[in-house]
Amino acid sequence: MSFLESLIQADQQLLIYLNNFGSQPFDAYWLFVTKPTNWIPLFLFWLFLLIKNYSWRKGLFLFLFICIMAGLSDVLVNIIKYATTRPRPCWQDGVLEQIRILKCSRSFSFVSGHATTSTAVTTFVYLLFRKKYKWTILFYIYPLLFAYSRIYMGKHYPGDILCGYTLGVVEAVLYLKLAKYLTNKWFDKNHVK
């Protein structure tokens, strides 16, 4: 067995282990957590922080920038998914028989869009505010719960999630550099620190 095959097998076993912690009384909670629109209050809070700290124009620009980043992140995730074509666990023979499946979809599994995009936007916001507000580290509860919901439902392997987290951090760092450049160019020299 090759190293890659061993890694895939370990990923499958970890999914089966984590997924089987699920039980019917918690299903409604995780179905709520996994729906992006249920996180709108958090996104509105981020908008409030941006406007409070950067003025209406700059705050709205940064919020729109984050929305564009999220959209482009989703495009990148889909390119990766169709390049790697890893089956989702909920339709992978040998795995689907051993897990609880709440929801499934026919798109591919690697990488997790939920993990990638939620980590990218959270890291972007965290990096903007970490020096001013120490509690912003709590924002990471969002991608942790959001991405774990995919394991709970049987839609993603832990490896999909971990690689999504990594990709999201890389995206956030790169997009923040671009945001600093644009805000310094269009607004003022000391806007995003």
Phi and psi at residue 187, to the nearest 5°: -110, -75
Q: What is the CATH number of domain 3-186?
A: 1.10.606.20
Residues 16-37 pLDDT 10s = 999 999 999 999 999 999 999 9
Single pTM value for the model? 0.92
The three-state (H, E, C) secondary structure of 124-140, written as one string: HHHHHHCCCCHHHHHHH
Residues 133-169 pLDDT 10s = 999 999 999 999 999 999 999 999 999 999 999 999 9
C-alpha–C-alpha distance, residues 30 and 21, integer Å: 12
